[in-house]
A and B are shown apart, each in its own frame.
Chain A
Amino acid sequence: MYKPTIAKHERVEASMIESRKRYILLGLGLILGGGLFAAAAGLILEYMPLAALGISGVILGVVSLALGRSLPRISPEASLMLLEAGSDNIMALVEELGLRARAIYLPTSFTQGQPRALIPLHGNPVQPVIQKPVEQRLIVQFGPGPDDYGVLVATPGSPTLSLIETPETGSSGALEDALSDLLVGRLDMVNAVRVERSGEKITIEVAHPALPLRSHPAYTVLGSPIASIVATVAAESLGQPASVTSESSYGRWQVIALELQPEVKL
């Protein structure tokens, strides 16, 4: 009997073993080749620059072995695949319910649990200000008005927060560090992150995103998967609800504009 989950799991593992093997083979090759080359150049030819080149090969070999040993269990490609699958499910829900208002990413202080995104049910272009924590349910009331209802969903950014240390609250430097740690080091989704803050507006630039920016009707609500992760981390790091106001790309950079909601004493 065909079991797609198992087949997928095996493919993911096989790709990871392949990557690991590549680094380990390269490392062993460099250590062995570099060592022999250094010995031959130093002892037989007595030409030190070539011996030094052999030593540098040995160092690179050890580095390659270390990198091979520390590869994450799931390859970045597989992570991206799962991330896209998760995003597609949320997007389908958003499209089916006909939601049009921009999502508001809430920090854990507002959700009393995992960070979530709140999508207002009304189509009012003015964003509501969330002033009190919301319940952990799918449909939640976020204000006193009759239209103040929204859908509370987990986004791609929600589980990724557990991969990094809880960001320090407040500075944009801490936010840049947290985003770099997550997107560059853990998820390998981008090459670099830059953060600029001006009042309640934050501009985040990411270099070489692994997921190219594509147009999707649901992205106007939640933002692209990378923007969603960025907004979740920003909301959590700064302790304020945030929403993605725009996304664009120029050259190898993707620019994500966020808007923070006014700080509220809970």
Chain B
Amino acid sequence: VRVYDRYLATLALLFTATTVLLAAHSQHQLDLYFSLYLIEYLAATLIFAYLHPQARRLLSFLGYFLFAGFMVIVAMKVLQILGTFS
């Protein structure tokens, strides 16, 4: 459980720091925040490599889900760019 607590605390710290830093730089794009959260999530999950296998499986599912969200953002951006050119 100690390792779970550390993992959650690490994620909370990373997400909060990112939000504060980006807000301080007047960033208002939600997709930028989301992309950085995804990268931080994947990095933290990679660093905590020795979590219980069942936890790792469930966290991998969440990783796929977040990545799907990221792909939606990318697709929307591409469509937006294509719309600008046409």
Contact = CB atoms under 8 A, between A and B. Distances in A.
A76 to B, nearest CB: 6
A62 interface: yes
Nearest to A47: B28
A52 B30 contact: yes
A261 interface: no
Contacts of A47: 28
Contacts of B51: 185
A53 interface: yes
Interface string B65-85: 010000000000000000000
B50 A185 contact: yes
B52 A49 contact: no
Interface of B: 1-4, 6-8, 11-12, 15-16, 18-19, 22-23, 27-30, 33-34, 37, 41, 49-55, 57-59, 61-62, 66
Interface residues of A, number: 32
Given A19-B1, A67-B7, A70-B54, A56 B15 contact: yes
A82 interface: no
A60 B1 contact: no
Given A42-B30, A59-B66, A60-B11, 14 more contacts: A23-B4, A48-B33, A51-B30, A52-B19, A52-B22, A59-B11, A60-B15, A67-B4, A67-B8, A71-B1, A75-B1, A180-B49, A181-B50, A185-B50
Contacts of A210: 2
A55 B3 contact: no
Contacts of B59: 63, 66
A49 B27 contact: yes
Contact of A76 (B2, B37, B50): B2
A181 B22 CA distance: 36
A49 B11 contact: no
Interface string A153-191: 000000000000000000000000000110011101001
Nearest to A23: B4
Q: Is the interface of A mostly helix, strand, loop or mixed?
A: helix
A76 B62 contact: no
Contact of A55 (B4, B16, B33): B33
A252 to B, nearest CB: 13
A188 B3 CA distance: 7
26 contacts: A23-B4, A42-B30, A48-B30, A52-B34, A53-B16, A55-B30, A56-B15, A56-B19, A59-B11, A59-B41, A60-B12, A63-B8, A63-B11, A66-B55, A66-B62, A67-B4, A67-B55, A69-B54, A70-B52, A70-B55, A76-B2, A180-B50, A184-B50, A185-B50, A186-B52, A188-B1
Nearest to B6: A191
Contact of B52 (A48, A60, A180, A185): A185
A53 B15 CA distance: 8
